[in-house]
Amino acid sequence: MRRSGPVRTLLSGVTVTALSTALICLAGTGADASSRAHSYAGRPMPAHVAAPYFEAWTGDSPARLAAESGNKYLTMAFLQTDQAGSCTAYWNADTSQPISKAAFGADIAAIQARGGNVIPSFGGYSADTTGTELADSCADVHAIASVYESLVKTYGVTRIDLDIEADSINNAAGIDRRNKAIAEVQRWAERTGHSVEFSYTLPSTTTGLAPSGVALLRNAVDNGARVDVVNIMTFDYWDGATHDMAADTETAAAGLHGQLAALYPKKSAEKLWRMIGVTEMPGIDDFGPEETFTTQDAVTVEKWAEAKKINTLSFWALQRDNGGCAGTAGANSCSGIDQDTWYFSHTFEPFTRGAGVR
């Protein structure tokens, strides 16, 4: 998914740090709020979860927007290195935003105090085309694994997302390092009693993954890396066709299900569906009006996801969940269609339910 455009700050004169601290106070007072956040940090993700992407580069507060939109879970995009060759990841490639409690820690604690959590996401289109996706950038598998582990220890998160597309999905060395690092983290988690899942967010055709996506997952199998969720981007098909986006979500996921069956022949059909996630782009996507995910599409997809019992429903991105720019394609801050603010969040929210047991 893309990260582009100027940084926006919605709350003039209010720092994100100060706002985040205030949000923790709203969640409870003193030790009570801290205790609630601690009790939710480290909990496995729900078996079925709605977790829209949050554009972390905007300067918005994830805790504030999560509260306003009714989302308990967010996928936070993106982490990447500041330059190719580095093994240090930063939020938004910004060296002033390392993986530390000082960067988004108060926001994440506030979300956890309300019973949710965040899913940090590595990669994205910008990183995947500049050599700054962590495993593309860093040649040391152990160093990559250490970065993943630091997220679990610093923020109490229990799922890490890897958005691999563009150049990264064809980078064989990066793919192999990334999957070896996943396997290393999973051994560490088992040894230390941590809970951690990995999701791969991958581009899709209307009939499933392209061969490059299947090859990435095959490499994971070969490296003993458990992939908990394969989250397909059911938008930006760029095939020139006019799409029924809800119907194409269903055919793309069905195709993925068949591909997963070949990769994991010992898993039941039900367990394979529980490995699948879909990410939509509400309104008009980057391609244009031919790929418009409507408000009715959202209702259809949520009902389908409930019936199939897939794992994850997401969309790109929370800041776009409003109707402020009707007719505009691929905007960062609005959907391009007439809609109520937070319509897509409210439509997908009932999908979140169940314990984190597979």
pLDDT values of the chain reduced to their tens digit, one per residue, 358 residues: 754 332 222 222 223 333 344 443 444 444 455 555 566 688 999 999 999 999 999 999 999 999 999 999 999 999 999 999 999 999 999 999 999 999 999 999 999 999 999 999 999 999 999 999 999 999 999 999 999 999 999 999 999 999 999 999 999 999 999 999 999 999 999 999 999 999 999 999 999 999 999 999 999 999 999 999 999 999 999 999 999 999 999 999 999 999 999 999 999 999 999 999 999 999 999 999 999 999 999 999 999 999 999 999 999 999 999 999 999 999 999 999 999 999 999 999 999 986 543 4
Q: Is 226 left (phi over 0), alpha (psi -120 to 50) or beta?
A: beta
Residue 106 makes CB contacts below 8 A (sequence gap 6+) with 17, 20, 21, 23, 24, 63
Q: What is the pLDDT of residue 326?
A: 95
Whether residue 18 contacts residue 346, with contact meaning beta carbons closer than 8 Å, is answered with: no
Closest to 52 measured CA to CA, from 98, 101, 111, 127: 111
- Residue whose structure tokens are 């959907």: 335
Q: Which of 169, 56, 34 is nearest to 109 (CA)?
A: 34
Q: What is the pTM of this model?
A: 0.91
As given in the structure block, the two tokens for residue 51 are 């977790």
pLDDT of amino acid 152: 98
To which H or E segment does residue 42 belong?
Answer: none
Cβ neighbours for 138, distance < 8 A, ≥ 6 positions apart: 81, 85, 86, 87, 144, 147, 177
CATH assignment of 16-351? 3.20.20.80
Tell which residue, 165, 170, 171, 172, has the closest CA to residue 123: 165
pLDDT at 41: 82
Determine contact, residues 201/235, Cβ cutoff 8 Å: no
List 232's β-bridge partners, or say none.
202, 278
